[in-house]
Amino acid sequence: MTARPLSRAAIFAQAWPIILGQTTVPLVGLADTVVIGRTGDAAALAGVALGTTVINFLFWTFGFLRMGMTGMTAQALGADDSEEVRAMLVRGLALGLGIGAALFALQWLLIPAAFALLAGGEALDASAKGYVAARFWGAPASLGVFAINGWLLGLGRTRAALLLQIVMNLINAALDILFVWRLGMGAGGVGLGTAIAEWAALATGLGIAVYVLGPGAIAAIRTQRASLFTAPAIRRLFAVNANIMIRTIALLLMFAWFANAGARLGTVPLAANQVLMQFVSISAFVLDGFAFTAESRIGGAIGRGSHSDYLRAIRLTGEFTFGAGLIFALLIWISGVPVIAFVTDNQAVRATAGSLLHFTALVPLIGAPAWLLDGIFIGATEGRALRNSAVVATAAYVLTDLALRPMAADGVWIALLSGYAYRALALGCYMPRLTRSIAR
């Protein structure tokens, strides 16, 4: 199947299912935040914020299960290699479930180590640890879902990926309400609801995968057992994803540092940042829809050796990315205060979040170039540039945050905005070389 001609209509047609699917991803965190936030318990809300930071760092370190799987599955599909398409699913699932099981087994070591590095406090850490311990029960399922999502996106099955996210979000929201509002389980109940939802999503994803592969899929996988886990296949799996993993760790460190900076200021500022980060998450995931489209279009242009298509893909996806960034900035600015009031009943948290809202509204504008450039370099398979830029940007961000500590909460948010700018500048430095190489 060939891609539609490069036009604005084609870009949007390719992007909207991804955007819709991406929008559902942060809704898991939003549901957790709203359910616990409506109890008015600032300590519990801050505990979920701190616990989410720990879980995101530990789980998304292995986000290559999503990103790497997409590229390699798409290549197998393009080569009309149905055997490799099936093998990619099995390898991704085996890797995801195996890493998740290892995380679960090592939680006795990982949880104390993570909280030793964060500036929480006894009461806050107790609430956060309850959330994290519950989430670890879903570790294998969470990483398995990463692999299935990446596999489905590589096949272009964006509607199936959307269904997977919807199932997880609905179950998560229902269980959050049951465990927190009905049973009073607090932050631990939020974590348990999310863990159960992840196992339900894994079961749904396996059913979708069997349906997509068609009749006889399981029997076909059994016949190719000998080729599923050969040394060359495993080496390629890790080689493709090594730079992506380093990049992801660097960016996760940036956001973990941001959460720790809020924790350093106290329970109320940390809870306020957790509320505001829901705006940031939704903006990032939606704009990532155009970044994913850029991956596909840039990769196709490079594959064809077309410099003009490469430049046109950058221009068209850039128009949508910056346009969407402006729209989200305005939406946050206009609707931020009532949304904050809906998310939390705590007056101190509402006031603090409202005073920082203008910084949040700037994130989609300043972050748009970084997200777009990510898509361009992933499409160009320039993993080294992605890795180096993320490491440099994170280091510069940490130095900026340290320098701005006298400005308290304002300094924390200015440093975060600077981090997005550093990412864009670092990747931008590689653009002339990339463009020249394609022109040649």
Alpha-carbon distance of 239 to 247, in angstroms, equals 14
Would 154 be classed as within a structural domain? yes
Would 3 be classed as within a structural domain? no
pLDDT of the residue at 120: 55
pLDDT of the residue at 1: 40
183: confidence class by pLDDT, cuts 50, 70, 90: confident
pLDDT of the residue at 2: 42
Mean pLDDT, all residues of the chain: 84
Q: For residue 96, give both structure tokens.
A: 């995801």
Position 373 pLDDT exceeds 60: yes
pLDDT of the residue at 5: 61
Residue 177 DSSP symbol: I
Q: What is the pTM of this model?
A: 0.74
Alpha-carbon distance of 246 to 259, in angstroms, equals 20
Per-residue pLDDT reduced to its tens digit, 294-344: 777 776 676 667 888 889 989 998 999 999 999 999 999 999 899 998 888
Cα 413 to Cα 4, 17, 257, 333, 417: the distances in Å are: 41, 31, 12, 16, 6
Closest CA to 202 of 92, 64, 74: 92
Provide mean pLDDT across the span 396-423: 95
Would 2 be classed as within a structural domain? no
pLDDT of the residue at 118: 67
Give the CA angle between residues 295, 300, 302 to the nearest 5°. Answer: 95
214: confidence class by pLDDT, cuts 50, 70, 90: confident
Provide mean pLDDT across the span 45-68: 79
21 near 161, Cβ under 8 Å? yes
pLDDT of the residue at 23: 66
pLDDT of the residue at 218: 80
Provide mean pLDDT across the span 3-24: 71
Provide mean pLDDT across the span 147-174: 83
Range of 76's domain?
8-439
Would 71 be classed as within a structural domain? yes
Would 422 be classed as within a structural domain? yes
pLDDT of the residue at 15: 74
Position 410 pLDDT exceeds 90: yes
Looking at the structure of the chain, the number of domains it has is 1
Position 354 pLDDT exceeds 60: yes
Alpha-carbon distance of 238 to 261, in angstroms, equals 33
379: confidence class by pLDDT, cuts 50, 70, 90: confident
Position 45 pLDDT exceeds 80: no
